[in-house]
């Protein structure tokens, strides 16, 4: 059974719905998302937190669609085009503002669905989060173990719930080990290739309403950031777990291709 891994990452896409921070008009949303200082911060999170592990995936057979607006200010639109030319798995999809956010997401994803695949592993990826370097490989392997559930239902979620919260406030970076069930990072929704839905059609906190789900609590699989520009500004529900500082630093490097001292230095600047 062939699984296509297909993800959507929204980079400052101007749409009225689909976000927790609300605006009354496209103009308000555009002014908020395209603020020059905010864009520079988002670019930092995207390139320094999200991209390293995507570049280093142990299974390179995946597609990550980056959805943005065709009027994304320069130099960011050109930078995204350059990244798409550099990274084979990354595909840029400029989508005009649409009132219905799910339709906009579908418009971005649809050209990249492989109809010859047996199942599509849909995932959403926030531009300031990270997944581990073996996320794609592990997802395919674990799906093979539970594919009977997907065959019975036609829908299935697979959740890697052990992660780190990277909290940045008042100039200080904290890394907080946390088990979060059905957070957006490292959560995969398996659907058939002819389904009209993407991962964003399903509220990640209410997945049990629509499909069976598998939760895998090891290994460490995601980083979720919490900072001043976060759409959701708190850690949300979860369980603490312990990781000593020296082991945490090694895990950052091994699992996410990140270096703590470098991140702390960049965040101070």
Residues in the chain: 269
Phi and psi angles of residue 163, each rounded to the nearest 5 degrees, phi first = -150, -170
Measured distance CA(17)–CA(14) in Å, rounded: 9
Token digits for 268?
A: 């101070």
pLDDT of residue 248: 95
The residue written with tokens 């950052």 in the block is 252
First to last CA, the chain: 48
Measured distance CA(161)–CA(181) in Å, rounded: 5
Q: Fill in the DSSP letter of residue 210.
A: T
Closest among 194, 176, 192, 150 to 248, alpha carbons compared: 176
pLDDT of residue 26: 80
Token digits for 44?
A: 């930092």
- Ordered per-residue pLDDT tens for the chain, 269 residues: 999 999 999 999 997 654 555 656 788 889 999 999 999 999 999 999 999 999 999 999 999 999 999 999 999 999 999 999 999 999 999 999 888 889 999 999 999 999 999 999 999 999 999 999 999 999 999 999 999 999 999 999 999 999 999 998 878 899 999 999 999 999 999 999 999 999 999 999 999 999 999 999 999 999 999 987 765 556 677 899 999 989 999 999 999 999 999 999 988 87
Token digits for 204?
A: 């990640």
**107 contact partners, CB below 8 Å, separation of at least 6:** 93, 95, 98
Q: Fill in the DSSP letter of residue 51.
A: H
pLDDT of residue 29: 85
Could you tell me if 174 and 228 are in contact, meaning their C-beta atoms sit under 8 angstroms apart?
no
Q: How does DSSP assign 20-46, residue by residue?
A: SS--SSHHHHHHHHT-HHHHHHHHHHI
Residue-range domains of the chain with CATH: 3-268 (3.90.550)
* Residue 167 burial class via C-beta count within 10 angstroms: exposed 0-12, middle 13-18, buried 19 and up: middle
């Amino acid at each position: 059974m062939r699984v296509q891994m297909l993800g959507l990452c929204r980079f400052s896409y101007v749409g009225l719905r689909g976000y927790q921070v609300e605006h009354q008009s496209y103009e308000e949303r555009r002014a908020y998302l395209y603020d020059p200082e905010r864009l520079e911060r988002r670019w930092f999170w995207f390139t320094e937190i999200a991209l390293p592990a995507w570049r280093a995936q142990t299974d390179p057979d995946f597609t990550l669609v980056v959805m943005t607006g065709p009027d994304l200010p320069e130099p960011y639109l050109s930078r995204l085009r350059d990244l798409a030319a550099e990274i084979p798995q990354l595909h840029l999809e400029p989508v005009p503002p649409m009132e219905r956010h799910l339709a906009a997401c579908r418009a971005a994803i649809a050209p990249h669905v492989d109809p010859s695949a047996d199942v599509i592993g849909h995932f959403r990826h926030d531009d300031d989060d990270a997944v581990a370097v073996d996320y794609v490989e592990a997802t395919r392997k674990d799906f093979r173990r539970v594919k009977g559930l997907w065959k019975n239902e036609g829908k299935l979620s697979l959740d890697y719930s052990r992660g780190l919260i990277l909290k940045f406030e008042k100039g200080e970076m904290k890394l907080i080990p946390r088990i979060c069930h059905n957070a957006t990072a490292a959560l995969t929704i398996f659907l058939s290739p002819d389904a009209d839905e993407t991962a964003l059609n399903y509220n990640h906190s209410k997945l049990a309403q629509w499909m069976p789900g598998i939760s895998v609590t090891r290994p460490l699989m995601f980083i979720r950031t919490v900072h001043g520009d976060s759409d959701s500004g708190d850690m949300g529900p979860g369980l603490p777990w312990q990781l000593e500082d020296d082991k945490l630093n090694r895990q950052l490097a091994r699992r996410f291709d990140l270096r703590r001292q470098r991140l702390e230095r960049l965040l101070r600047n």
